[in-house]
Structure 1
Amino acid sequence: MKKILCFFVFFSSLTLVSYAQSGDEKQVTAAVETFKKAMISRDKNLLESITADELSYGHSSGKVEDKTAFVNGVLNDPIHFNEIDLQDQTIRLAGNTAIVRHAFNAKTTNNGKPGEVKIRNLLIWQKQKGQWKLLARQAFKVPVP
């Protein structure tokens, strides 16, 4: 009987851990979507609430910004994101950290002229006080074959 009870407790704990991880993955996915919407809408409050104070935001050009510079850039840059399509997204959890990778394809307007952005991103999310915050992002260009 003790073996059965131990097996049941062990199996239940594995199920709870698995459930918690899938719950965190869902929360990270939702945070990425919120971040995407904040970039399109240029919502300052949303941008500030979804990013960590320690944010390090790397552009595909090599430019790196802190949180203040990033938010001001989204609000004041002549490039506006009209649509953002994220593809091939993967999420790996490591404690209170999530590693997200995806292809970032966007339709933009730059001073009234339509354009496109096709890059890949690595995002590091950290769970702070129960909320997933973007801690770091590095974009990079994909070589054209």
Structure 2
Amino acid sequence: MKIHKLLFVAALAICTLTGLNASAQKSEQAVADAVEKLRKAMIDPTDATLQAIASDKLSYGHSNGKIEDKAEFMRALVSGESDFKTIDLTKQTITIVDNTAMVRHELSAVTANSGTPGTAHLSVLLIWVNQNGGWKLLARQAVKI
């Protein structure tokens, strides 16, 4: 009888750990999906897509030190002041703690800010918060590399 209880407890522990791992992978994938939505929205920005992805408390830091709030971030992209033609993300890592996710990656882009052709190669830190069942961008900071 004791062996059956021990086997049951071991099986329950394995199932619980497997379930936790699956849940963590699902959360990580949801954050990765949010990053991809942001990437696409920065290339083809609309008020609706940017509104949906950004927290109302957004702090968006550029590699030149300029800091924008949500309204400034949206205006710059929609107006073409900040214009990304392509964005490639590499070396991405995602760390989730409770309802907050930290994403680091390298960003390489072709730009045309205010119509002037250019390129960008940045190291980026994104902070996402899970609000109302979805991941919202709370903060971003980029540095030139």
Matched to 1:75, the amino acid is V
* Equivalent residue runs for 1:16-55 within 5 Å: 16-55=19-58
Aligned length: 142
Matched to 1:51, the amino acid is A
Deviations 1:64-106 (A, max 9, x none): 1111111111112434111000011111111111110001110
RMSD: 1.2
Long gaps (5+) in structure 1: none
* Equivalent residue runs for 1:107-126 within 5 Å: 107-126=110-129
Percent identity between matched residues is 43
Query: Equivalents in 1 of 2:61, 2:27: separation in Å?
Result: 25
* Equivalent residue runs for 1:89-104 within 5 Å: 89-104=92-107
* Equivalent residue runs for 1:3-14 within 5 Å: 3-14=6-17
Query: Equivalents in 2 of 1:34, 1:66: separation in Å?
Result: 19
Query: Equivalents in 1 of 2:113, 2:85: separation in Å?
Result: 10
After superposing on structure 2, the runs of 4+ consecutive aligned residues of structure 1 that deviate more than 3 Å are 110-113
Query: Equivalents in 2 of 1:47, 1:87: separation in Å?
Result: 22
Matched to 2:84, the amino acid is F
Q: Which has the larger radius of gyration?
A: 2
Q: Is 2:82 the partner of 1:63? A: no
Cα 1:96–1:53, aligned 2, differ >3 Å: closer, same or farther?
A: same
TM-score, scaled to structure 2:
0.93
1:133 to 130, 136, 142: 136
Deviations 1:10-65 (A, max 9, x none): 11111111001100111111100100111100121111101111111111111111
TM-score, scaled to structure 1:
0.93
Long gaps (5+) in structure 2: none
Query: Equivalents in 2 of 1:81, 1:25: separation in Å?
Result: 26
SS of the residue 1:137 aligns to: strand
